[in-house]
Amino acid sequence: MRGALAAVALALVLAACATPPRPKPEAALPLGERAALLARQLTGTPYRFGGSEPQDGFDCSGLVWYVYRSLGVTVPRSAAEQQRAATPVAYEGLMPGDLVFFHTPSDHVGIYLGHGEFIHAPSSGRGVTSARLDSPYFLLDFAGAGRVAPGS
Protein backbone atom coordinates (compact mmCIF):
# COMPACT_ATOMS: atom_id res chain seq x y z
CA MET A 1 0.00 0.00 0.00
CA ARG A 2 2.86 2.36 0.91
CA GLY A 3 4.46 1.81 -2.50
CA ALA A 4 1.23 2.67 -4.28
CA LEU A 5 0.76 5.85 -2.22
CA ALA A 6 4.35 6.87 -2.85
CA ALA A 7 3.89 6.35 -6.59
CA VAL A 8 0.70 8.47 -6.62
CA ALA A 9 2.39 11.20 -4.57
CA LEU A 10 5.38 11.20 -6.93
CA ALA A 11 3.09 11.40 -9.96
CA LEU A 12 1.24 14.38 -8.44
CA VAL A 13 4.50 16.20 -7.69
CA LEU A 14 5.80 15.59 -11.21
CA ALA A 15 2.50 16.74 -12.74
CA ALA A 16 2.61 19.94 -10.68
CA CYS A 17 6.15 20.63 -11.88
CA ALA A 18 5.34 20.12 -15.54
CA THR A 19 5.06 23.34 -17.47
CA PRO A 20 1.86 23.80 -19.42
CA PRO A 21 2.21 24.11 -23.19
CA ARG A 22 2.82 27.70 -24.22
CA PRO A 23 0.92 29.31 -27.06
CA LYS A 24 2.86 29.64 -30.28
CA PRO A 25 4.77 32.90 -30.53
CA GLU A 26 3.15 35.10 -33.17
CA ALA A 27 6.22 34.80 -35.41
CA ALA A 28 5.72 31.02 -35.58
CA LEU A 29 2.18 31.37 -36.95
CA PRO A 30 1.57 30.95 -40.68
CA LEU A 31 1.73 34.15 -42.73
CA GLY A 32 -2.03 34.30 -43.25
CA GLU A 33 -2.80 34.02 -39.55
CA ARG A 34 -0.29 36.78 -38.76
CA ALA A 35 -1.89 38.97 -41.45
CA ALA A 36 -5.37 38.37 -40.00
CA LEU A 37 -4.15 39.23 -36.48
CA LEU A 38 -2.47 42.44 -37.62
CA ALA A 39 -5.49 43.45 -39.70
CA ARG A 40 -7.80 42.94 -36.71
CA GLN A 41 -5.53 45.19 -34.60
CA LEU A 42 -6.12 48.00 -37.11
CA THR A 43 -9.89 48.01 -36.52
CA GLY A 44 -11.11 51.57 -36.05
CA THR A 45 -8.33 53.20 -38.09
CA PRO A 46 -9.99 55.96 -40.14
CA TYR A 47 -10.73 55.62 -43.85
CA ARG A 48 -8.75 57.80 -46.23
CA PHE A 49 -8.80 57.44 -50.00
CA GLY A 50 -5.26 56.52 -51.07
CA GLY A 51 -4.22 55.94 -47.44
CA SER A 52 -1.74 53.22 -46.60
CA GLU A 53 -0.48 54.07 -43.08
CA PRO A 54 -2.28 53.80 -39.71
CA GLN A 55 -1.50 57.41 -38.75
CA ASP A 56 -3.06 58.71 -41.99
CA GLY A 57 -5.85 56.17 -42.52
CA PHE A 58 -6.44 53.42 -45.05
CA ASP A 59 -8.37 52.70 -48.17
CA CYS A 60 -9.12 49.02 -48.81
CA SER A 61 -6.05 48.15 -50.86
CA GLY A 62 -3.83 50.35 -48.68
CA LEU A 63 -4.85 48.26 -45.68
CA VAL A 64 -3.84 45.04 -47.48
CA TRP A 65 -0.61 46.65 -48.73
CA TYR A 66 0.31 47.85 -45.22
CA VAL A 67 -0.49 44.57 -43.45
CA TYR A 68 1.56 42.43 -45.81
CA ARG A 69 4.41 44.96 -46.08
CA SER A 70 4.59 44.94 -42.25
CA LEU A 71 5.08 41.17 -42.45
CA GLY A 72 7.86 41.48 -45.04
CA VAL A 73 5.77 40.56 -48.08
CA THR A 74 5.39 42.82 -51.10
CA VAL A 75 1.95 43.05 -52.69
CA PRO A 76 0.73 45.47 -55.36
CA ARG A 77 -0.99 48.65 -54.21
CA SER A 78 -4.39 48.52 -55.97
CA ALA A 79 -7.21 46.03 -55.40
CA ALA A 80 -7.27 45.00 -59.06
CA GLU A 81 -3.51 44.37 -59.08
CA GLN A 82 -3.74 42.51 -55.77
CA GLN A 83 -6.38 40.22 -57.25
CA ARG A 84 -4.25 39.50 -60.33
CA ALA A 85 -1.15 38.80 -58.18
CA ALA A 86 -2.83 36.50 -55.63
CA THR A 87 -3.12 32.76 -56.17
CA PRO A 88 -6.85 32.04 -56.68
CA VAL A 89 -8.62 30.28 -53.82
CA ALA A 90 -12.11 28.75 -53.85
CA TYR A 91 -14.67 30.28 -51.49
CA GLU A 92 -14.84 26.96 -49.63
CA GLY A 93 -11.06 26.92 -49.19
CA LEU A 94 -10.65 30.34 -47.57
CA MET A 95 -8.09 30.58 -44.77
CA PRO A 96 -7.17 33.49 -42.49
CA GLY A 97 -5.11 36.07 -44.36
CA ASP A 98 -6.59 35.29 -47.77
CA LEU A 99 -7.72 38.30 -49.76
CA VAL A 100 -11.41 38.58 -50.65
CA PHE A 101 -12.46 40.70 -53.61
CA PHE A 102 -15.71 42.45 -54.46
CA HIS A 103 -17.27 44.65 -57.12
CA THR A 104 -19.05 47.21 -54.90
CA PRO A 105 -19.37 48.92 -57.56
CA SER A 106 -15.62 49.31 -58.11
CA ASP A 107 -12.86 46.94 -57.05
CA HIS A 108 -12.77 46.34 -53.29
CA VAL A 109 -10.59 44.05 -51.17
CA GLY A 110 -10.52 42.76 -47.61
CA ILE A 111 -8.51 40.31 -45.52
CA TYR A 112 -10.28 37.12 -44.49
CA LEU A 113 -10.23 36.49 -40.72
CA GLY A 114 -11.92 33.09 -40.64
CA HIS A 115 -15.41 31.86 -39.75
CA GLY A 116 -17.01 33.90 -42.56
CA GLU A 117 -15.60 37.22 -41.37
CA PHE A 118 -13.23 39.64 -43.09
CA ILE A 119 -11.76 43.04 -42.32
CA HIS A 120 -11.70 45.97 -44.72
CA ALA A 121 -11.63 49.76 -45.05
CA PRO A 122 -15.12 50.29 -46.45
CA SER A 123 -15.63 53.97 -47.25
CA SER A 124 -15.28 57.55 -46.21
CA GLY A 125 -16.83 58.25 -42.84
CA ARG A 126 -16.22 54.70 -41.62
CA GLY A 127 -13.03 53.22 -40.30
CA VAL A 128 -11.46 49.81 -40.73
CA THR A 129 -14.07 47.31 -39.65
CA SER A 130 -15.07 43.68 -39.97
CA ALA A 131 -17.96 42.34 -42.01
CA ARG A 132 -19.54 39.01 -42.91
CA LEU A 133 -18.97 37.39 -46.29
CA ASP A 134 -22.48 35.98 -46.17
CA SER A 135 -24.16 39.37 -45.79
CA PRO A 136 -26.28 40.02 -48.89
CA TYR A 137 -24.28 43.11 -49.87
CA PHE A 138 -20.96 41.26 -50.03
CA LEU A 139 -22.29 37.87 -51.10
CA LEU A 140 -23.89 39.36 -54.21
CA ASP A 141 -20.76 41.32 -55.14
CA PHE A 142 -18.18 38.63 -54.32
CA ALA A 143 -15.59 38.61 -57.12
CA GLY A 144 -13.19 35.92 -55.88
CA ALA A 145 -10.46 35.24 -53.38
CA GLY A 146 -6.72 34.81 -53.46
CA ARG A 147 -3.79 33.82 -51.29
CA VAL A 148 -0.64 35.87 -50.87
CA ALA A 149 2.54 33.83 -51.24
CA PRO A 150 5.07 34.21 -48.39
CA GLY A 151 7.94 35.05 -50.73
CA SER A 152 6.09 37.65 -52.79
Of 17, 60, 103, 115, catalytic:
60
Strand bridging mode 99-103 / 142-147: antiparallel
Residue 83 DSSP SS3: helix
d(CA 144, CA 86): 10
Asked whether 133 and 140 are in contact (CB, 8 A), the reply is: no
* 103 is an active site residue: no
d(CA 70, CA 88): 22
Asked whether 100 and 63 are in contact (CB, 8 A), the reply is: no
112 beta partners: 118
* 115 is an active site residue: no
Maximum C-alpha span of the chain:
78
Active-site positions read 60, 108, 120
